[in-house]
Amino acid sequence: MSLQAAHMAALCAGSAVWLAMMRDPGGRRARVLFADPRPEPHRPWDRLPGASKAWNGWKRSVRTRREWWCVPVAVLLAVVGGSVLPLAAGAVAVPLVRRWLRRRDERRKRERRADAVAALCGAVVGELRAGQEPGQALLVALRDCVVEGSEPFTEGGARATARPGAWLGDAEAAVLAAARFGGDVPTALRQAAEGSGLEGLAGMAVCWRVAADGGAGLATGLDRLETALREDRRQREALRAQLSGAWSTVVVLALLPVAGLGLGTALGAEPLRVLLHTPGGLVCLAVGGVLEAAGLFWACRIVRGGEAT
């Protein structure tokens, strides 16, 4: 009976997490199409400022501190297994999961910035061919390329508007000042290219320098640079698609021990009691954990080596 109660508690907890994390795409689409500066609250507690603020803060913490979900899972396993070892494993998993999430978010930001550089080149080319001066074309293009370095959040769930050039990082002020007041734009772009994902700005700086010194067409050079950047993006996406099968294999192999524990529990073998409360089970748990970690590390290293190539 206690096992059934634990299963029901886990089901309720999972349902609560799913309901909290689920978004309303229909409502968001309607808000985008029919923008209202003062939207009506769609939840009863939105009429209470304190409750709405607490709810938004809780949602933001859930999305930004996802690694802490290891703790309730560890507590549940500790209660079901009657041991403190899952608690220790959950405490160790929190920093590891945080590191993995940060690396994944950093990779996504790097890719978005690379896409923004390609879009910036295309926007500058369009402004130049429309008759704008190079500096003014760069300013207009930077204003139009407000993208995806982050997703600002304000009270009530509204999106904050990012300022132009914010995705350039620390070199934002130098690039905007050089473009607005006729400064050394190539040098500012070269400094901005030192940021993660902004390497394409170095090519843009070279095109700008050649056009300024030799009189070559800036629009032609930037058009070719945009084509090269987008082709590199397509190649990376094709390689990632080819490696998706390998990543699926890694995930399946990693989940096999969990599936074995679930199957043993369903058959009434009580694998958690054997693993956590017997000397032989503790030895098997330690050896299995080491082998699992080594296998995951080696498989991920092989796949990432293929991605790097």
d(CA 104, CA 101): 5
* Phi, psi (degrees; rounded to nearest 5) at 160: -85, 150
Tokens encoding 266: 């369903």
Lowest mean pLDDT among 151-160, 211-220, 243-252: 151-160
DSSP state letters, 64-97: H-GGGGHHHHHHHHHHHHT-SHHHHHHHHHHHHH
Bridge partners (DSSP) of residue 153 are 159
Q: What angle do CA 141, 147, 150 make, to 5 degrees?
A: 150
pLDDT cut 90: percent of the chain above it:
2
Task: Map residue 112 onto helix, strand or coil.
Answer: helix
Model pTM above 0.85: no
Tokens representing residue 163 in the block: 């300022």
Condensed to tens digits (0 to 9), the pLDDT of residues 51-107 reads: 556 656 656 655 667 777 888 888 888 887 778 888 888 888 888 888 888 888 888
Answer for the pair 271, 265: CB distance below 8 angstroms, yes or no.
Answer: yes
pLDDT value at residue 160 = 39
Nearest to 31 by CA among 42, 21, 22, 20: 42
Q: Using the predicted structure, report yes or no on whether residue 279 has a pLDDT greater than 70.
A: yes
- The pLDDT mean for the chain works out to 75
> What are the residue boundaries of the structural domains of the chain, listed by start?
109-229
Q: Is the pLDDT of residue 16 over 60?
A: no
Res. 45: pLDDT tops 60: no
Q: Identify how many contiguous H helices and E strands the chain contains and give both numbers.
A: 12, 0
**For residue 46, is pLDDT > 70?**
no
Q: How far is residue 176's CA from residue 199's CA, in Å, rounded to a whole number?
A: 18
Phi, psi of 301 (to 5 degrees): -65, -40
Beta bridge partners of 159: 153
Say what the pLDDT of residue 215 is.
57
Q: Which residues contact 167 (CB under 8 A, 6 or more apart)?
A: 112, 113, 116, 145, 146, 147, 148, 149
Contact of 46 with 59, CB cutoff 8 Å:
no
